[in-house]
Amino acid sequence: MQEDYKVGAYSVEGNVNYDDLVTKFGVSLIDDDLKKRIKKDAGDLHFMIRRGIFFANRDLNWLLDQYEKGNKFYVYTGIAPSGSMTIAHLLPFIMAQWLQEKFDADVLIQIPDEEKFLAKKDMNLTLEKAHDLAYQDALDIAALGFKPEKTKMFLNTEYADVVYKQAVRVSKYLTFSIVKDAFGFGNDTNIGTIFYTSTQAVPAFLKSVEQGTNVPCLIPLGIDQDVHFRVARNAIDKLGYYKPAIMHSKFLPSLKGGPKMSASDSDNTIYLADSPDVVVRKVNRAITGQQSTAELQKKLGGDPDKCAVCQYNRYLFEPEDKKLEAIFEGERKGTLLAGEHKKDLADKINKFLENHNKKKERLSDRLDSFMLRA
């Protein structure tokens, strides 16, 4: 039975069938062979790859061919500001930071401060507000441990002297027909949104432009963003640059059990700006795979796949496989009660956020060294 779901750049709905998505999008799974190869080249394997959270790819074997021949790649990822970052937004950045560390990769981070301004129908998110949010995001990103000397970030409106010119080159190869089909645009779509994907393509070949020679690029992203590069990779190829390789992540589930934690569903989403109290309150209301009472749970056990608390440990907060397995086992066998289960996760999140906020404080007056401007 085919499940009803939709994964688009601007919305995700229903229960995502990731196997089906791999076929639909024409991407490949990160299988055991590829995991072994990454581990060999990196000297390690990130738990998000081990656990199939980063589960799919485009051209990752080609990228590692290049790497093994001594042709180093750079990493590109980004975030469109619309409010405080959530913990779901961390996935591609954590992966980018790991890739930087293990492959000595330069990292380029695009903060398209115009994207949500253009995409949202309401007028509350002004460009000025998006600009401020972009700088908050930049600080959150920097605090994840990127090397200042190998990491550059930019806002599209502030780096437009570089970005717009290259976006124009991309846009010549993209007709309305192409973006209409890819993004579901119509006659009522504004022309800024129609053009926007051209700018998202730019960092995927910008190092090649700057260095005057082709440099491989790897993009870790949530699979909902793949569409931008399904469209752009052909244009980038026609411009004579390497198509970027991509690593796709699944979506961090909603605390209430939906397929994707959404920044606009504030009760079921944990923001990096949340206070410890708020984190405790939100986690306490999270869905678990457990039975309705402690008695039943002890007797029948629960289902880790349906349990947001288990999944948050798996996606983000329990890097050690053995400890994760103990949590899952406790859930399955009913020895781990909801209360302590949730307290453990809330503690982990709050410990992460406490550290994160300290790092932000230390970096706040050094953020400028990360930023590219004209």
Beta-carbon neighbour count of residue 40 at 10 Å?
12
- Are 198 and 171 in contact by the 8 Å Cβ rule? The answer is yes
User: Is 82 one of the binding residues for a second copy (CB under 8 A)?
Assistant: no
* Distance of alpha carbon 258 from alpha carbon 267, whole angstroms: 13
The dihedral region occupied by 368, where left means phi > 0, alpha psi between -120 and 50, and beta the remainder, is alpha
User: Is 189 one of the binding residues for a second copy (CB under 8 A)?
Assistant: yes
The single residue among 168, 294, 296, 300 that binds a second copy, judged by CB under 8 A, is 168
Task: Return the structure tokens found at 299.
Answer: 């007797």
Which part of the chain contacts a second copy (CB under 8 A), choosing from 40-48, 178-186, 270-278, 302-310? Answer: 178-186
User: Is 192 one of the binding residues for a second copy (CB under 8 A)?
Assistant: yes
User: Is 160 one of the binding residues for a second copy (CB under 8 A)?
Assistant: yes
* Distance of alpha carbon 236 from alpha carbon 231, whole angstroms: 9
User: Is 214 one of the binding residues for a second copy (CB under 8 A)?
Assistant: no
Task: Return the structure tokens found at 131.
Answer: 């600009």
Closest distance to a second copy from the beta carbon of 337 (Å): 51
User: Is 114 one of the binding residues for a second copy (CB under 8 A)?
Assistant: yes
Cα–chain center distance at 306: 22
User: Is 210 one of the binding residues for a second copy (CB under 8 A)?
Assistant: no
What b/e readout covers 350-364, taking b as 16+ CB neighbours within 10 angstroms? bebbeebeebbeebe
Closest distance to a second copy from the beta carbon of 197 (Å): 8
* Distance of alpha carbon 111 from alpha carbon 107, whole angstroms: 13
Q: Which is nearer to a second copy, 82 or 311 (CB)?
A: 82
Which part of the chain contacts a second copy (CB under 8 A), choosing from 42-50, 60-68, 159-167, 218-226? Answer: 159-167
As a whole number of Å, the CA-based R_g of the chain is 21
Closest distance to a second copy from the beta carbon of 211 (Å): 17
Which residue, 64, 25, 62, is CA-closest to 42?
64
User: Is 355 one of the binding residues for a second copy (CB under 8 A)?
Assistant: no
Q: Which is nearer to a second copy, 138 or 162 (CB)?
A: 162
Interface residue list for a second copy (CB under 8 A): 114, 117-118, 127, 156-161, 163-165, 167-169, 171-177, 179-180, 185-195, 197-198, 373-374
